[in-house]
Amino acid sequence: MIVLHPYLPGCREEDQAPTWRLIEQASKRWPVHDVDLSWDPLYGYGASLRALWDGDRDWLIIEHDVEATIEDIKAMEDCPELLCMASYGHSGHAAADLTSTLVVCSSLGFTRITARARQLCGDWPVPAGTSYHMLDSWLTGALAAALVTRTGRAWHAHRPVLHHHSADMV
């Protein structure tokens, strides 16, 4: 499993500090791929994931503003499911505990996407010209649809994690 850490330098640095500390800890155990999106803040996230899509490594995405723990990462790595997610709050609302429900994920903030799930989905499912605003919905929806169709399973929910600037989101 590779940890993908998409971030935008200088963006809410105080909110990113806990994530950077987690990434530093995680790098001692898992390979970490920092994805600096300063080259294209609007479309770079999708382009970066697209470039890795056909690879044979499972991904654990930890976005710059999500705070999880090493135990959360380990739980994702050890999980037998093909797609895993952790919910987190948005727009000042608390995270919902989705661990006992079938979910269609719509946020990539803290997700594990296995190579097998990407293979079952097929070609990169996100339309060209999709900004980061809609990347989550396109990608997680396509993965869920492929898995439900082919395996009868969807996203597996883990415990909620903290989202640092949820009060600022609109």
- The domain that contains 9 carries what CATH number? 3.90.550.10
Q: For residue 164, how many C-alpha atoms fall within 13 Å in the half-sphere facing its CB?
A: 17
Judge whether residue 110 has pLDDT over 90.
yes
Distance CA(162)–CA(126), nearest Å, equals 27
Tell me which of 166 and 34 has the higher pLDDT. 34
DSSP 57: S
Residue 167 confidence (pLDDT): 46
Q: Which residue range is the domain that position 10 belongs to?
A: 2-168
Q: How many domains does the chain have?
A: 1
- The strand pairing partners of 163, in sequence order, are 66
pLDDT of residue 91: 45
Mean pLDDT score, 29-50: 95
- Among the listed residues 135, 113, 123, 140, the one whose alpha carbon sits nearest the alpha carbon of residue 59: 113
